[in-house]
Amino acid sequence: MAEQEGNGEDGAVAEIEKKIIEAFEVFDHECNKTVDVREIGSIVRSLGCFPTEAELHELLAKVEEEEEPTGYIHLEKFLPVMTKVLLNRSYRPIPEDVLLHAFEALDENKCGYLTKDELVKHMTEEGEPFTEEEMEEMLSSALDPETNTVHYRDYISMMIVDEPEDLPQ
Partner 1 sequence: MEHIVTDMGCNASIEDREESKSEKAIKAAVLIQKWYRSKRAQLEISRCYSLNIFQSIEYADEQDQAQLASFFTFMLERYASPDAVADTSISPSVSHEVDSYLTEYENIEVPDSYCGPRLSFPLTLADANALLHAFKNGQLLHAHYVLKLLCETRRVLKEKPNINLVSVSYSKEITICGDLHGNLDDLFLIFYKNGLPSEKKPYVFNGDFVDRGQNSMEILIILFAFLLIYPNDVHLNRGNHEDYVINLRYGFSNEVLSKYKVHAKVILYLLQDVFSWLPLATIINKKVLILHGGISDKTDLNFLYLLERNKLKSLMRPPQPEREEQGKEGAPTARPSTCAANKRGAGKTRRLSSSGFTELSCPNSQPGPTLKEWKQVMDILWSDPRMQNGCVPNKRRGGGCYFGPDTTARLFERYNLKLLIRSHEFKREGYELTHGGKVITIFSASNYYEEGSNRGAYIRLNPDLIPRFVQYQVCERTDKQNHWERMKTIEHSALQILRERIFAHRSTLTEAFEKYDCDNTGNISVSDWAAAMESVLCLELPWRTLLPHLAKTDPDGKVDYMSCFHNMEIAQSTEEVQPALVETLCKYRKELEVIFNIMDEDHSGLISFDEFRKTWRIFSSHLGIEAYDASIDKLAQSIDYNKDDYIDFSEFLEAFHVVHKGDKKPT
Footprint of partner 1 on this chain (CB under 8 A)?
1-3, 11-12, 14-15, 18-19, 22-23, 25-26, 29-31, 41-42, 45-46, 48-53, 93-94, 98-99, 101-103, 105-106, 122-123, 126-130, 134, 137-138, 140-141, 158-159, 161-162, 164-165, 167-168
By C-beta, is 45 or 151 nearer to partner 1?
45
Nearer to partner 1, 25 or 36 (CB): 25
Nearest distance, CB of residue 149 and partner 1, angstroms: 15
Give the span between the Cα atoms of 159 and 156, in whole angstroms. Answer: 5
Burial of 134-160, coded b for 16+ CB within 10 Å and e otherwise, reads: eeeebbeebbeeeeebbbbeebbeeee
Written as one string, the DSSP assignment of 30-53 is TSSSEEEGGGHHHHHHHTT----H
Nearer Cβ to partner 1, position 31 or 67?
A: 31
